[in-house]
Amino acid sequence: MAIQYNEKVMRHFMNPKNVGEIKDADGIGKVGNMTCGDIMYVYIKVGKDKKGEYVLKDVKFKTLGCAAAIATSDIVIELAKGKTIKEALKITNKDVVKELGGLPSIKVHCSLLAEEALGEAIYNYMKKNKKEVPKELEERHKRALKSEIDFHNKFKGKC
Ligand code: FES
């Protein structure tokens, strides 16, 4: 049986606005989904806003994956762009699914890629710039690293 996506999901899948790579990115996050082998990259460019807070000036993604993975990647970027780092770290896969108007239940797990890849890009930026990484983000990174190793072992030579 074919999976039914709502109109908004289809729009972001068919015509994603935030695809691409930032050549001189300040942070890059890469995560993979162990179950299906899909991969997502997030690139961030960080700058300061008028109040001197660090914000995500630009964010792009590249996703090799299913329709839900692409749509959730596109929407997480829309949610994150212009936000402060602190605000961007609060974005969860639930926010992503809600913003898309829902996903079929068997596709909700695909939205985790978006949340994780954004977190990894911010983590990468903070480490590179010797910023203090919040404990929660450190934990998120450890989980992402573990899945990355498992992912590599499972899909070695296939991607
Ligand atoms: Fe792989 Fe959707 S089936 S992320």
Tell me the pLDDT tens digit for each residue of 25-42: 999 999 998 888 899 999
Residue 2 lies in a domain: no
pLDDT, position 117: 96
Q: What is the pLDDT of residues 81-98, one digit of tens each?
A: 999 999 999 999 999 999
pLDDT at 159: 55
Q: Catalytic annotation on 110?
A: yes
- List the structure tokens of 114: 């978006």
Which residues, 6+ apart, have CB-to-CB distance to 59 below 8 Å? 18, 42, 43, 44, 45, 77, 80, 81, 118, 121
Instruction: Report DSSP letters for 80-141, one per residue.
Output: HTT-BHHHHHT--HHHHHHHTT---GGGGGGHHHHHHHHHHHHHHHHHHTTPPPPHHHHHHH
Tell whether 69 is covered by a domain.
yes
Q: At which residue do the structure tokens 């809600």 appear? A: 98
Quick check: is 57 in a domain?
yes
Could you say which of 19, 34, 36, 108 is catalytic? 36
Domain that holds residue 132: 7-155
| pLDDT (0 to 100) of residue 150 | 81
Contact 141, 127 (CB under 8 A): no
Under-50 pLDDT residues of the chain: none
* pTM of the full structure: 0.92
Overall domain count for the chain? 1
- CATH number at 14 reads 3.90.1010.10
Could you tell which of 64, 109, 158 is best to mutate to test the pocket of ligand 1, judged by most ligand atoms within 8 Å of the CB?
109
